[in-house]
Chain A
Amino acid sequence: MSLGTYYYQNQKKLCSVSDTEWRVAIHKTKRHISLKVKQKTLSGVHAGARLGAEALDHYLGISYEKIINGNWEWKETFSLAEQMIRIVDSEINKEVEKSKTVKAKEMKLISTPSTEDFYSTIDAESSEDDSNECEKQLKIVEAAAKEDIQLEIMLEAVKEGKKRAEIADLLEINPKQLDKLREKLIAKARTLQSAAV
């Protein structure tokens, strides 16, 4: 075990991180990993790699280990959760690139990604083995949004590829209020999914 290049620099920030801040960062990063892996699996590029609980623990572990051991610089402008999420994105992208058998030197390493990187274009030639499952998932989401004007607008905007700020603008709400809509959509989708099982 050795101290990374940014160990002492990161320690200056880490020494003031409380358990509560760690909990918040872990919780936020876990949700991000779960969504990112699901998204990458849609392209068929993350299938066969780490999935489920294993993926969560694997990427989550890397995200805080690299900050604590100083192998990754905790940038001044980022919160702990933001920095962990950026490390996760870089690690998942590396894994995806590996599965695409791209030469190691061409691996995409994200040092300063933006939220644009959360959006991914699906390769039309990706595996269609799970097409029925995807259709089913989307039908559940569409049913969950039905008869709720805000959710319907949100889903239509998503279909058009609009992002958080644009969707909030369209709905004439604060971007933060979108989280409540997200919660509502997920809760309704979960209810419909349980009813269908």
Chain B
Amino acid sequence: MKTANTKQVLSNLYGLMMEINFHRSHDEVLEELNNISDSNIDAHLVKIKRLSMKLKAVENQVRFKKVIDQFALLKSKGLDELKKLFGPEEEQQLVPLFRKFEELTKEDEQSIVEDQELLRLLDVLKDKLDESN
């Protein structure tokens, strides 16, 4: 058999094995895994967890920056200006949050991102502002 043909047969065989592997079910692979020990898989699992944690930290930084930027933008508009975006009834409901918003200083930045009610107000304010523009 010529080399090209030999190689083609081996290539076909690898292709078939890839296709079979691709279609193996979760349970079939798991059964095989239970019968072998592969420290390399554990090593990759550790890498996956490390990478996920690092990205989670980046995600938190991004979220923090976004909220702070949004907060700075709204503050710059002035509270009286923002209140104009709401009807009297809506404003009445949001009064406690408005008060909180008014009292916030730069030092309170960390507390902003942890205060769910305030985050909701920031979102509402941002939406109203976008609508009015």
Assembled-state Cα–Cα distance A80/B121 (Å): 38
A23 close to B (CB within 8 Å): yes
Contact of B15 among A27, A85, A119 (CB under 8 A): A119
Q: A134-B7, A137-B10 are in contact. Are A163 and B19 (CB under 8 A)?
A: yes
Q: Is the CB of A161 within 8 A of B30?
A: no
Q: Is the CB of B41 within 8 A of A68?
A: no
Assembled-state Cα–Cα distance A182/B22 (Å): 13
How many residues of B are in contact with the other chain, CB < 8 A?
A: 43
Interface positions of A from 100 to 156, Cβ below 8 Å from B? 115, 118-124, 126, 128, 131, 134-135, 137-138, 141, 155
Assembled-state Cα–Cα distance A68/B3 (Å): 42
How many residues of A are in contact with the other chain, CB < 8 A?
A: 63
Residues on B lying within 8 angstroms of A by beta carbon are: 1, 3-4, 6-26, 28-30, 32-33, 38, 40-41, 44-45, 47-48, 51-52, 54-55, 58-59, 62
* Leading 3 A-B pairs by shortest Cβ distance: A119-B15, A118-B18, A39-B14
Residues on A lying within 8 angstroms of B by beta carbon are: 1-3, 7, 14, 19-24, 26-28, 30-32, 35-36, 38-39, 42-43, 56-57, 60-61, 64-65, 68-69, 79, 81-82, 85, 115, 118-124, 126, 128, 131, 134-135, 137-138, 141, 155, 158-159, 161, 163-164, 167, 175-176, 178-179, 182
